[in-house]
């Protein structure tokens, strides 16, 4: 993973590159961003840049974009030049090739795990799942915790970063580096650290050995211990914009631009969600939701039972897409009577639905329905029976619409 592989976020890339070239690199960086953002991707690209032995050197002064990343007053970044545009890891040196396979000997990986049928007790640490971890990163640098748990087989277990893992962290960093300019401890989702594990690494996190860098990637700083948070320099990663998501889907995944834009609206800045949605027919989800709402409004209970049975037999992705499409349409239904232009992000058929639906559903009803859809999504994530969950949802939606 290189910076060039990531769409947008130029201000973050420039800040990170300049911090290295100006010799202002913090020994512990915390990449903060919502699920589906580029926080993991940017962190991987930065680790690759640090270990690259042929990266371009530049005598340019550091960019003045740091303040906005750390919550201060934003400043205008300098104009891009041909020189700044190509500052990146080379991608071809031995270090870059090893980083591309996530096999660099001086990069140590820590991430949440749980016991499985084959890995139990104190053996449930990151190194026991390193093959699965490399596969996870290779599939996409935008993956979620639920996808990681599904890949290694820990869906039904509570994950954490254990106290035993903290001993492994300290042990790994006491070793000399093999070939890279830095030893890097890469910790994904440190908010899942057991308190004893977090306390166990405080000293080495605050005073690491020379040429040692901690890279932490989190989705939720509120779940992090304050003692960990205070020892890191925060790098904020925003969500992707709808236009960035659409461009990625169109240019990198060859999705037609109209469908890419429709998927981007549903994904709400979550690129991993967009990539998943792109494999499904969003127009089919719209038609299903429209017909479902008609059945609810007309109180056709026998057909609602059949609808729930049919949807229950479909894949989990199709069920999620239906609810996500519904949430997007409900949001637009709320906006439609009061807004125009960029605030209304619907195609012609969807717009016609929003117009009609806004006449039969008050804002309060729409909010109640959206809450129910979100609640059902939550149930799906916890393996609820989809037929029962959807029938229950259908009856509640009917009750709201006809109240």
Q: What is the pLDDT of residue 283?
A: 62
- Rounded to whole angstroms, the Cα distance separating 58 from 67 reads 22
**CA distances in angstroms from 268 to 34, 327, 375, listed in the order given:** 11, 11, 18
State pLDDT tens for residues 138-159. Answer: 988 888 888 888 888 876 678 8
pLDDT of residue 93: 92
Those residues whose C-beta lies under 8 Å from the C-beta of residue 59, and which sit 6 or more positions away, are: none
pLDDT for the residue numbered 60: 37
Local mean pLDDT, 10-residue blocks, the chain (403 residues): 89 91 91 92 95 66 40 40 60 93 95 84 84 92 86 81 91 85 94 91 92 94 90 93 89 83 80 77 77 94 94 82 85 68 56 80 91 91 88 95 87
The whole-number pLDDT of residue 58 equals 40
Q: Using H for helix, E for strand and C for coil, what is the string for the chain?
A: CCHHHCCCCHHHHHHHHHHHHCCCCCCEEEEECCCCCCHHHHHHHHHHHHHCCCCCCCCCCCCCCHHHHCCCCCCCCCCCCHHHHCCCCCCCCHHHHHHHCCCCCCEEEECCECCCCCCCHHHCCHHHHHHHHHHHHHHCCCCCHHHHHHHHCCCCCCCEECHHHHHHHHHHHCCCCCCCCCEEEEEECHHHECHHHHHHCHHHHHCCCCCEEEEEEECCHHHCCHHHHCCCEEEECCCCCHHHHHHHHHHHCCCCHHHHHHHHHHHCCCHHHHHHHCCCCHHHHHHHHHHHHHHHHCCCHHHHHHHHHHHHHCCHHHHHHHHHHHHHHHHHHHHCCCCCHHHCCCCHHHHHHHHHHHHHCCHHHHHHHHHHHHHHHHHHHCCCCHHHHHHHHHHHHHHHHCC
Q: Which residue has the tokens 């090739």?
A: 97
**Cβ count near 312 (within 10 Å):** 15
Q: Report the pLDDT value the prediction gives residue 317, as an integer from 0 to 100.
A: 72
Residues sharing a CB contact under 8 Å with residue 247, sequence separation 6 or more, in sequence order: 7, 260
Contact call for residues 234 and 48 (beta carbons, < 8 A): no
pLDDT at res. 61:
38
CA–CA dist 162, 376 (Å, integer): 32
d(CA 33, CA 142): 11
The pLDDT value recorded for residue 124 is 81
State the CATH class of domain 3-238: alpha beta
Where along the chain do its domains lie? Answer: 3-238, 280-401
**Minimal CA–CA distance to 284: which of 316, 315, 313, 321?**
321
CATH class of the domain defined by 280-401: mainly alpha
């Amino acid at each position: 993973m290189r910076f060039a592989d990531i769409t947008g976020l130029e201000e973050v890339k420039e800040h990170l590159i300049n911090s290295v070239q100006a010799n202002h690199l913090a020994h512990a960086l915390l990449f903060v961003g919502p699920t589906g953002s580029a926080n993991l991707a940017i962190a991987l690209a930065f680790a690759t840049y640090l270990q690259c032995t042929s990266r371009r050197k530049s005598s340019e002064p550091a960019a003045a974009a740091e303040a906005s990343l750390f919550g201060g007053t934003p400043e205008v970044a300098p104009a891009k030049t041909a020189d700044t545009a190509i500052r990146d890891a080379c991608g071809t040196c031995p270090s870059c090739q090893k980083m591309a396979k996530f096999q660099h000997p001086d990069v140590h990986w820590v991430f949440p795990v749980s016991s499985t049928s084959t890995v139990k007790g104190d053996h449930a640490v990151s190194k026991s799942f390193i093959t699965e971890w490399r596969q996870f990163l290779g599939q996409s640098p935008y993956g979620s915790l639920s996808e990681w748990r599904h890949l290694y087989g820990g869906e039904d277990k509570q994950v954490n970063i254990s106290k035993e893992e903290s001993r492994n962290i300290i042990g790994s960093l006491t070793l000399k580096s093999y070939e890279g300019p830095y030893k890097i401890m890469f910790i994904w989702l440190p908010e899942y650290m057991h308190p004893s594990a977090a306390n166990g690494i405080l000293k080495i996190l605050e005073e690491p050995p020379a040429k040692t860098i901690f890279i932490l990637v989190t989705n939720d700083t509120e779940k992090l211990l304050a003692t960990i948070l205070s020892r890191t320099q925060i790098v904020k990663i925003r969500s992707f914009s709808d236009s960035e998501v659409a461009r990625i889907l169109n240019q990198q995944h060859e999705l037609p631009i109209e469908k890419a834009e429709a998927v981007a609206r549903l994904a709400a800045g979550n690129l991993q969600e967009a990539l998943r949605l792109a494999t499904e027919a969003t127009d089919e989800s719209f038609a299903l939701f429209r017909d479902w709402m008609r059945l609810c409004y007309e109180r056709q209970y026998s057909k609602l039972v059949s609808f729930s049975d049919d949807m229950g037999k479909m894949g989990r992705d199709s069920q999620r897409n239906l609810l996500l499409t519904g949430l997007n349409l409900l949001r637009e239904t709320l906006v439609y009577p009061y807004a125009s232009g960029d605030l209304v992000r619907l195609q012609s058929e969807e717009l016609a639905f929003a117009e009609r639906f806004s006449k039969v559903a008050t804002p309060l009803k729409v909010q109640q329905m959206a809450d129910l859809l979100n609640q059902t999504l939550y149930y799906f994530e916890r393996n609820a029976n989809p037929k029962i969950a959807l029938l229950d949802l259908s009856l509640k939606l009917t009750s709201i619409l006809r109240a």
